[in-house]
Structure 1
Amino acid sequence: CKRFVEVDPPITSYSGENVYTDNATAIGGITGIYALMSNSRANATPQAGGYLTNVFFMTGLAGDELNLYSGAQQNPEMFAYYTNNLTPQLSSWVNIYRLIFTANSAIEGLSLAQTLNPSVKNQLLGEAKFIRGFQHFEGKKNFGNIPYIDEKVVDFKVSNTDAGGAFVNIWPQIEADFKFAYDNLDAKRPNKGRVNKWAAAAYLAKTYMFQNKFTEAKALFDLIIPTGVNAEGNKYDLTPNFHTNFRVTSEHNVETVFSIQASYGDGANTNGNYDNTLNYPHGGSATTEKPGACCGFFQPSQSLVNSFKTVAGLPDLTGYNNSDVTSDETFTSAQEFTPYAGALDPRLDWTVGRRGIPYYDWGVHPGRDWIRVVSYGGPYSPKKNTYYKADIGTLAGTVGWGFANNALNFTPMRFADVLLMAAEAEIEVGSLTTALTYINRIRTRAAASPVLNGATPAANYAVVNYATLGDKVNARKIVRFERKLELAMEGHRFYDLVRWGIADVVLNTEYFAKENVRRASALAGSTFTKGKHEYLPIPEFAIARSIKDGKETLKQNPGY
């Protein structure tokens, strides 16, 4: 049977041995890794079936942005995120390391390749190392204490502790991956969805921010902001209208730093922003009445909505939750309702669907008719992840069993994020005046982005720029709140609270204090425990499989 032990790969397929033998197949190999990042089923968590892949869900539920439609009986996995009652069985661990393994295979193959064009080889290595760094970065944010795995690892039972039992620090290796990508990638790329030099620089700077290395981060921001360009070679800037970033027809714009691609109508249903299948307004027709036929799982919180109130055009940093933006929570859609008349930031109505306000080109949000279970999730609908009625048939529609599909990319970083991180760095080690300039760039754009009902603003919008940030303590409060408003429901908020060290204070005294009263049956007295809930538990199956020489090489996170 020896002749059957080794079989050459068929001429219609590629293996690790032949994919890096010429430029075209090597480029295709790296493109395949991007495809894995885009394909929701490839990223699906074992327990959640793919519906918790998008970090917006997990962090929104764990933080102060989202409510869940139901209790533990209907959906225990999602309820665990919502109530900070996670167990070591819940995890996206497999998906993070699956993509790390794939990136490592590419790095190994590219490093050994002898026949590739040197320039092509270097660009592909930069992309592969960026993806490896990005996945470790996501793992670090979510699990905290994880091992770093590179292409040289043979025994994958790598410990997450040192000889003394302390958790290892993998930030230097993540920095090195992003630094290699920054040093080697071109600024302009052949495809607009590929990572470029300046995206790598922005992620390196963000890695510094997560370590409070503000001086190093500021040095990069000082380069990125005036000279950085997107993959098409266009200088980074804010788009004129806030909403441009959340419309399929205007994505890949000057504000895009890095986005994970989605597509519709390509025959693979899981490429079409599949993670958001359960997160459209509930009920009705997905083609004639509203975006998506299902399922209203994750609904914006009252605490988030209240954050968009303004006083003399500025956010109410400390008293935003003292009174509520009026909602139709106790009204049916057939009952008469008058929307909130107070002053608001228009970014609210591009982020959250609420009764009486136009919902893109679908007409005015009708309220309860689009809500699954108002007593649990509340009266609001998500908006940034959905699509226009005009997109149906070309960029969005229903597939499979009738679930919604759309081609809106998921964008982990846009230039607004960069500007606000740069403002943070300036506040800590630079100039409050420069920080003020960056923050006011964001606010100027917000003021120019009203939601219209015909030719008239749909609500009482009032946004002005800050005249001053005050002292450093007040400046921190301002930039942190601005990130809350600008980046709401994009997957940043919970990680921000953790890196600032204030997750326990904000969640326990602001979010739970508000939502526990309104959602007592759902939240069941939930609290955030400092020193535990900042990170997910390492899954038991990973720890069980880490045994080497009779000992576990993975140590569980504190508190679990």
Structure 2
Amino acid sequence: MKFIKQTWRFPAAVLILTALLSSCADSFLEQPTTGALPEEPVATQTGVNALLIGAYAALDGQANGSALGGGGAWEASPDNWIYGTIAGGIASKGSFGGDQPAIDPIAKFSSDASNGFFNTKWKATYEGINRCNNTILYCVQAEDIPEAQKAVILGEARFLRGHYYFELKKMYNMVPWIDETTEDPKTPNDKDIWPMIEADFQFAYENLPAVQSEFGRANKWAAASYLGKTYLFQHKFTEAKDIFTIVVNQGVNAGGVKYDLLPRFRDNFDAATENNSETVFDIQMVANDGTGTIANSNQGGMLNFPYNSPFRCCGFYQPTQELVNSYKTDPVTGLPDLDNYNTDPVKSDMGISSNEPFTPYAGSLDPRLDWTVGRRGIPFHDWGLHPGASWVRDQAYGGPYAPKKTIYWQATQDKFADQSSWAPGTAINVHVIRFADVLLMAAEAEAQAGSLPIAMEYVNRVRRRAANPDGFLHKYRDASNPMDGFDETTTAAEYVISEYTATQFGSTQQALDAIYFERKLELAMEGHRFFDLVRWGIAAQTLNAYFDYQGNITTDVRGGQFIPGRSEYYPIPQAQIDLSVDASGQPTLIQNPNY
């Protein structure tokens, strides 16, 4: 059972509670969290469980056709496709320059605090925190909830609050900590909140069960994984290593299945095979839920389908040439070129119309490329060969490629696609943490601790799965009828991928270089890249090199510049600074440096 997907239809009393909660989104700095709801109907087992459901429901940042608190649905998308992937040089904004122009300065790090996208994301995330705080507050007060059950409810609420604050911390750095005890919500952002995030995940780890009644709920091991990630972002490598070792060896998903990589990489991105051994924590999505909207169908990604295609709209989120080149491998060793991958780039159909002949790149490639990127002449799931320019709104602006991890299949579209809006929704879950991510974070912690053989084994475990021939993309049996299936004897491209040897893991720096690159390959288009680059301390050199390279191919990022000391974090939204003015007329929120 998919908990969040099955519990979106609330009874009338809960809808009233949710409406009251939502009303706090714009003004959370103006009224105390503790006064958001009347106590009588809420401080009961039924009321508290309804509040907890509302806290989960805020994970996708969506309500009533837009983001929580207003703004375009995509502005608060939980997969951070704008703030983590586009800003990380993995994808172009796509479409054309005049569509959603506020994304362009985010991609080029020229945006300021007045950009409404930052305010939308801020409000939607604090709405989630507000719901968690109310759950905690009234759970403690409820007299009809057994203590053991209270501990689980509080564990889930604090896990979710840790997640929401993690989102804010990695985006804005210094943000106000508001919890269930806060009396003055105009709290300054002058404290590092990492210790509080740690405490929430530690509490959740100690109090949540290993197995949950519904798959969408956080369990003990999801909390342990997020605690390890929290340590890693603080460079607490020993603590991260210790907790990840326990997770890798003992962790199970919410259904009680031991964590493991799926045999096929592609099955992480298909609604028919989700909630599996690789699922650590997903935001649950569902199509055709009876609401007549796509609010529960990854509405934040509704723009991110090929343009002028069977998907109707909208041509955003186009993988970059720089990313595509990263999947080249040495035809003998099967390893990537960590330093010179942009030399001799993968051939594209840039500037070639769909009615002109084109032959795809014939060199050796990592097979994960063709489950991540749609490119001309290669099967686009079971929708036919990607036709190239006819599915792209403006090649010169955004390049020739299309996203693929979030695209539903033609054969199962009646079940897993939702056409209730002007752009599609999808039942494909959003991965917050999956086990491959855990393995690569664990590898990083092991490398930092000097345990290079263990780090290499974790990376090779990810690469072994990628090298499974059963998971390769194959050609169609009949290219004129892609629904007829694939010819399992002929791959769609020349796939060559192998494991690392001790030669490539001879030093800590060599190991880290390989691990960093593996995260790029494995987790591309999943919202991690920008935040990884920042915590590794290599954002400036990596992204400025990206601007130099990609800017010669597409016009969208020309003039982009990452400015050290400024660009590591997004600006505190000016609207929130204005709202934080206290009785003395001074704002309590302090802007990030150099904005």
Aligned to 2:215: 192
Query: Could you list the per-position Cα deviations for residues 347-366 of structure 1 after superposition, in whole angstroms to 9, with x for gaps in the alignment?
Result: 00000000111111112111
Aligned to 2:94: 69
C-alpha deviation, 1:25, in angstroms: 4.1
The equivalences for 1:371-382 within 5 A come to: 371-382=392-403
Q: State the distance in 1 between where 2:327 and 2:366 align.
A: 5
Q: Does the aligned pair in 2 maintain the 1:178–1:204 contact within 8 Å?
A: yes
Q: State the distance in 2 between where 1:121 and 1:498 align.
A: 38
Q: State the distance in 2 between where 1:40 and 1:47 align.
A: 9
Aligned to 2:181: 152
Is the partner of 2:225 in helix, strand or coil? helix
Query: Could you list the per-position Cα deviations for residues 355-389 of structure 1 after superposition, in whole angstroms to 9, with x for gaps in the alignment?
Result: 11111111211111111111111000000011001
Structure 1 pair 306–135 and aligned structure 2 pair: CA distance change class (3 A) = same
Structure 1 residue runs without a partner (length 5+) = 1-8, 162-167, 286-291
Structure 1 pair 235–159 and aligned structure 2 pair: CA distance change class (3 A) = same
Is the partner of 2:75 in helix, strand or coil? coil
* Residue 512 (str. 1) matches residue 547 (str. 2): yes
Identical aligned residues as a percent? 45
* Residue 559 (str. 1) matches residue 594 (str. 2): yes
Aligned to 1:538: 572
Aligned to 1:227: 250
Whichever residue aligns with residue 457 of structure 2, its letter is T
Structure 1 pair 39–556 and aligned structure 2 pair: CA distance change class (3 A) = closer
The equivalences for 1:382-401 within 5 A come to: 382-401=403-422
Is the partner of 1:67 in helix, strand or coil? strand
* Residue 450 (str. 1) matches residue 485 (str. 2): no
Is the partner of 1:191 in helix, strand or coil? coil
Structure 2 counterpart of 1:526, from 560, 563, 570:
560
Structure 1 pair 246–335 and aligned structure 2 pair: CA distance change class (3 A) = same
* Residue 94 (str. 1) matches residue 113 (str. 2): no
C-alpha deviation, 1:194, in angstroms: 0.2
Structure 1 counterpart of 2:441, from 417, 421, 446:
421
Q: State the distance in 1 between where 2:413 and 2:363 align.
A: 35
Aligned to 2:50: 28
Structure 1 pair 462–552 and aligned structure 2 pair: CA distance change class (3 A) = same
Q: State the distance in 1 between where 2:16 and 2:165 align.
A: 29
Is the partner of 2:419 in helix, strand or coil? strand
Query: Could you list the per-position Cα deviations for residues 194-237 of structure 1 after superposition, in whole angstroms to 9, with x for gaps in the alignment?
Result: 00000000001000000000000111011100100000011001
Q: Does the aligned pair in 2 maintain the 1:65–1:304 contact within 8 Å?
A: yes
* Residue 498 (str. 1) matches residue 534 (str. 2): yes
Q: Does the aligned pair in 2 maintain the 1:20–1:116 contact within 8 Å?
A: no
Q: Does the aligned pair in 2 maintain the 1:45–1:52 contact within 8 Å?
A: no
Structure 1 pair 396–71 and aligned structure 2 pair: CA distance change class (3 A) = closer
Q: Does the aligned pair in 1 maintain the 2:322–2:550 contact within 8 Å?
A: yes
Aligned to 1:164: none
Q: State the distance in 1 between where 2:141 and 2:71 align.
A: 38
Query: Could you list the per-position Cα deviations for residues 294-326 of structure 1 after superposition, in whole angstroms to 9, with x for gaps in the alignment?
Result: 011120000000000001200100000112100
C-alpha deviation, 1:173, in angstroms: 0.4
C-alpha deviation, 1:523, in angstroms: 2.2
Q: Does the aligned pair in 2 maintain the 1:19–1:29 contact within 8 Å?
A: no
Q: Does the aligned pair in 2 maintain the 1:258–1:412 contact within 8 Å?
A: yes
Is the partner of 1:438 in helix, strand or coil? helix
Q: State the distance in 1 between where 2:60 and 2:590 align.
A: 31
Structure 1 pair 323–187 and aligned structure 2 pair: CA distance change class (3 A) = same
Query: Could you list the per-position Cα deviations for residues 443-494 of structure 1 after superposition, in whole angstroms to 9, with x for gaps in the alignment?
Result: 0000113111121111000000011111111111000000000000101111
C-alpha deviation, 1:63, in angstroms: 1.3
Query: More deviation in 123-132 or 385-394?
Result: 385-394
* Residue 343 (str. 1) matches residue 369 (str. 2): no
Aligned to 2:146: 117
Aligned to 2:317: 298
Q: Calculate the aligned-residue CA RMSD, in Å.
A: 1.8
C-alpha deviation, 1:21, in angstroms: 4.7
Q: Does the aligned pair in 2 maintain the 1:149–1:158 contact within 8 Å?
A: yes
Q: Does the aligned pair in 1 maintain the 2:259–2:278 contact within 8 Å?
A: yes
C-alpha deviation, 1:538, in angstroms: 0.4
Query: Could you list the per-position Cα deviations for residues 32-80 of structure 1 after superposition, in whole angstroms to 9, with x for gaps in the alignment?
Result: 2212223523772768511132202322221110112356543221112
* Residue 266 (str. 1) matches residue 302 (str. 2): no
Is the partner of 1:411 in helix, strand or coil? strand
Structure 1 pair 530–26 and aligned structure 2 pair: CA distance change class (3 A) = same
Q: State the distance in 2 between where 1:85 and 1:12 align.
A: 41
Q: Does the aligned pair in 1 maintain the 2:48–2:138 contact within 8 Å?
A: no
Q: State the distance in 1 between where 2:49 and 2:510 align.
A: 49
Aligned to 2:457: 437
Q: Does the aligned pair in 2 maintain the 1:52–1:58 contact within 8 Å?
A: no
Q: State the distance in 1 between where 2:305 and 2:358 align.
A: 23
Q: Does the aligned pair in 2 maintain the 1:497–1:503 contact within 8 Å?
A: yes
Whichever residue aligns with residue 431 of structure 1, its letter is S
Aligned to 1:3: none
Q: TM-score, normalised by structure 2?
A: 0.87
Aligned to 2:329: 310
Whichever residue aligns with residue 67 of structure 1, its letter is S
Whichever residue aligns with residue 201 of structure 2, its letter is F
Structure 1 pair 12–284 and aligned structure 2 pair: CA distance change class (3 A) = closer
Query: More deviation in 140-149 or 343-352?
Result: 140-149
Query: More deviation in 144-153 or 207-216?
Result: 144-153
Is the partner of 1:390 in helix, strand or coil? coil
Q: State the distance in 2 between where 1:20 and 1:120 align.
A: 16
Structure 1 pair 293–11 and aligned structure 2 pair: CA distance change class (3 A) = closer
Q: State the distance in 1 between where 2:363 and 2:321 align.
A: 15
Q: State the distance in 2 between where 1:20 and 1:183 align.
A: 26
Aligned to 1:481: 517
Structure 1 pair 16–256 and aligned structure 2 pair: CA distance change class (3 A) = farther
